[in-house]
Structure 1
């Protein structure tokens, strides 16, 4: 997975790069993609603290409250802002100005750090000109909250996360932000188009090559001279499945053949077919086949 893997700014010994006091955090997860850094920061119970973030060239920060009852008094160039965040309320702010805030109440936030390159490439994501995102405070966005919940398990276990799945979520999150919270300019995406037989075959070959190379939607879209979002939508329109769902179905097909024709143990079949481990293989196989690989093998013999 491309993108930064370390903190963009070196934190002090007591605070992280977002100004949070490290000793106050009960949860501090991070996962990076090419244009985004996802974080989850949370404290136990009622929480009171102060954050300071100096101006820096880091793009935008999107915060999604995962709990009710977060009170924040923010101080920035726009003056004092008193807000109460409930679950699903979000904010979008710039990194390029000094920011400080006093926080009180419950604290559990999913954070999306959008690199400066994100907005520069937004026209590729939406296929329409885009100039900016709106800066908002405590505006409800339950769709973004649900997208955050979908990616939280990957943040908790980044080494086991499926890179293709995370990247698809990143594309979806980026497209949603550009549609729901667009600033100036028309950035509505165009309709999806079906891929040609040659294009779909090329995309599927690249996805299958990703069994070893962790195929990237961005790389495949670039090969087909499409935006990531356009490729994702057109692939689903043509095949009836998202790229990730199609790849999982191919992995399970491969696994079924090995279960029928070999005596390989399940762990070897899992790794041969591109699953991260036997547990991942069993979970996906059972979801698609309705039974575990071991039972399926027994019934098929």
Structure 2
């Protein structure tokens, strides 16, 4: 299950700046895992009530398994966009692109297998079960919550990365308590929607990759998938985490970034080349998704190595890390 909770964009595009070095130093205070969801501990070391760590893997493919301890919840927040497949008891829970800012939860005693098909970086929380509000009727829903894109969770992770220190236990505890309380109060969907089958998804993705430079309607994409508009929109979102319109706009912006960084073409020309009818609309969408205007983004790209991926013919290229230094 992948829920958006009305978040227009739960990932954040951050350009390199002198302040990034400060962020990097703060991030280093959070210990890094040598193995997925495992920290090196002395044999006589007791499990802390709250454990926060970082996991990153630069490999293009990796597989991992872990079972959440019986007395705590596990929460992971993606620091960069990756491709992932999550499996529990031989049942595929999620298989696709996981945008930066995605949060997923594993309840006590629950096993989980993860396969990453791209480099990844996560902030991991091991939270005692008693931190969750047991009186809340939504607590049972957390047991089944798998994937979520939620703006508040993203902001809490940012605060921890930017200001958290391993020795600052009160700050970390406050962040974790707020996150736990927030998760138990979420209004989760009552009905599950089947994800768009992969063969239909590939057809839609290919169609977008071939025609993103012109107007593409929801009816057109639904026709390509062979479904009604209503069923297509719901199943596409369940499969990718994106509304069809949001997916298309992200694909256009990623292609625009490539043109901005590798050519000197005017903004108006680039806007038309990636499917926008006006430069003004292009600039508005670009800033909403990337956090900067096209001109400012282009200026920043000239002073650092190009990190923009060419748009994939299968999925929109990964957004730039929302906290690049934390994933370094």
Q: TM-score surpassing 0.5?
A: no
Structure richer in strand, relative to its length: 1
Q: Which has the higher contact order (CA 8 A, sep 6+)?
A: 2
Larger radius of gyration: 1
Q: TM-score, normalised by structure 2?
A: 0.39
More helix by share: 1
TM-score w.r.t. length of structure 1: 0.42
